[in-house]
Amino acid sequence: MVRDLRIVGQQDGIDREEIMRSHRLFSLLFVRFREGPQGGVLMIASRFLYLMTLGVAVVLGPRVAAQVQTDVPAAVPGAKPVSVERIKIHGKALEGNLEGDAVDRDLLVFLPPSYAMEKARRYPVVYALHGYSIGAEQWSHEIHVPQTIEGAFAQGAKEMIVVLPDSKTLHNGSMYSNSVTTGDFERFIAHDVVAYIDAHYRTIPERASRGLVGHSMGGYGATRIGMKHSDVFGSLYIMSPCCLSPRSAPNPEVDKALEAVKKPEDSANLSFFARATLATAAAWSPDPKNPPLYLDLPTKDGQPQPDVLAKWTANAPLAFVDQYVDNLREYHGISIDVGNQDGLRADTAKLHDVLDEYGIANSLEVYEGTHTSKVADRIQNHVIPFFSQNLCFQAACR
């Protein structure tokens, strides 16, 4: 059994006011479950609790919409330039989605310094998934690529290709899930994107040479897709994953706002939490017979809808992880990280603990920081070095 839990940083640097705000938000937003006297599940919630679809918002609230609170590591002297290609690919898995989300999606491809010169050389690939409310282009600025990729290579990481696919939808996030309403973003990432990159770039087209990483909603995506598609990817890095546990609770204000939505474009006028509710419902409780949004909400007339809540629970990785233990054993490396001031810390630690209980090799690092403050630093000094150590860099890997 492997257990690697590291706490990084000093407590003295923590913003006490932010911690208190976080604690207050915890008391308002989190829903806990416990066993009832008859063996059933009782939901305990404050009357102010409202639907919490993205755990990341627990600490950051509306700030998460921009995800820009990031410390940028200094440029590494002498780093060689990484080239960037902005392309658009067709997502077959997204065809026919009821929401009308784009089927042709943007991709950012970062090619290592030696790619243009060493024409016979092939490279492993890392696929990096962005969070809620942003797309690939915005995330590229927030994690400061290509600078952070260049810095990682300059500091000794082996060269690889890095791909940022765009998965933003009508309601600002696909949840990297499979839904007739949004399209099958799970398959889009694991099949369409991978197949295109292998066909158009000099990759090493084997699972041992493919890595998957994501932050926040992207961390959820890396967890979900990683569990289900170990035949495609060989190493996982999960950053501050949201939405690991089943959570739900009604809130009159959010319910009222959602009931006022009569057409898809009304989504743009909603608050962050209400819009996130629509995104999650579109991904996890689609309904092809319920136009124009083609989704079912977890509350109706202020009352919880058990059938819908059951679907949401079925999409929570901590609820389905036991089904994919054998898949997770196939990974060469699994790394998880989260900030010590991040409201997602508890659930992130639970994921680590579950893997640990099954004897699945993985590491968890709790570093000093908030949900977004260190994401660029993590890319340069932790994510790329991790894949440098865990991916296969030659053909015929096993």
Alpha carbon distance 184, 186 (integer Å): 5
Please check the confidence at residue 53 and state whether its pLDDT lies above 80: no
At 155, the pLDDT band (50, 70, 90 cuts) reads very high
Contact of 299 with 51, CB cutoff 8 Å: yes
Residue 144 makes CB contacts below 8 A (sequence gap 6+) with: 70, 72, 73, 376, 379
Average pLDDT over residues 57-85: 71
pTM: 0.85
At 300, the pLDDT band (50, 70, 90 cuts) reads confident
Contact of 342 with 371, CB cutoff 8 Å: yes
Cα 172 → chain centroid: 13
Average pLDDT over residues 367-385: 96
Residue for token digits 């991904």?
Answer: 283
Please check the confidence at residue 10 and state whether its pLDDT lies above 90: no
At 17, the pLDDT band (50, 70, 90 cuts) reads very low
Please check the confidence at residue 18 and state whether its pLDDT lies above 50: no
> What local confidence, expressed as pLDDT, does residue 244 receive?
97
Q: What angle do CA 293, 295, 299 make, to 5 degrees?
A: 115
Q: Which of 46 and 161 is assigned the larger pLDDT? A: 161
* CA dihedral sign of residues 98, 215, 88, 93: negative
Backbone angles phi, psi at 41, to 5 degrees: -110, 125
Please check the confidence at residue 20 and state whether its pLDDT lies above 50: no
Alpha carbon distance 292, 298 (integer Å): 17
At 79, the pLDDT band (50, 70, 90 cuts) reads very high
> What local confidence, expressed as pLDDT, does residue 248 receive?
56
Contact of 355 with 328, CB cutoff 8 Å: yes
Cα 220 → chain centroid: 4
> What local confidence, expressed as pLDDT, does residue 32 receive?
30
> What local confidence, expressed as pLDDT, does residue 69 receive?
67
Alpha carbon distance 210, 328 (integer Å): 15
Q: What is the token pair recorded at 187?
A: 């398959």
Residue for token digits 């492997």?
Answer: 2
* CA dihedral sign of residues 18, 20, 23, 28: negative
Whole-Å CA distances, 307 to 285, 288, 312, 313: 9, 16, 9, 10
Please check the confidence at residue 338 and state whether its pLDDT lies above 60: yes
Kind and range of the H or E run holding 198:
helix 194-200
> What local confidence, expressed as pLDDT, does residue 44 receive?
32
Backbone angles phi, psi at 174, to 5 degrees: -85, -15
Contact of 222 with 237, CB cutoff 8 Å: yes
Whole-Å CA distances, 265 to 22, 200, 242: 32, 36, 26
* CA dihedral sign of residues 201, 202, 203, 204: positive
Query: pLDDT above 90 covers what percent of the chain?
Result: 71
At 16, the pLDDT band (50, 70, 90 cuts) reads very low
Quick: pLDDT tens for 204-251. 999 999 999 999 999 999 999 999 999 999 999 999 999 999 865 667
Please check the confidence at residue 347 and state whether its pLDDT lies above 70: yes
Please check the confidence at residue 131 and state whether its pLDDT lies above 70: yes
Q: What is the token pair recorded at 311?
A: 């679907």
At 273, the pLDDT band (50, 70, 90 cuts) reads confident
Closest Cα to residue 337, out of 210, 208, 218? 218
Alpha carbon distance 303, 286 (integer Å): 19
At 398, the pLDDT band (50, 70, 90 cuts) reads low
Contact of 299 with 305, CB cutoff 8 Å: yes
Quick: pLDDT tens for 382-394. 999 999 999 999 8
Please check the confidence at residue 173 and state whether its pLDDT lies above 60: yes
Poorest-pLDDT segment among 5-9, 82-86, 358-362 = 5-9
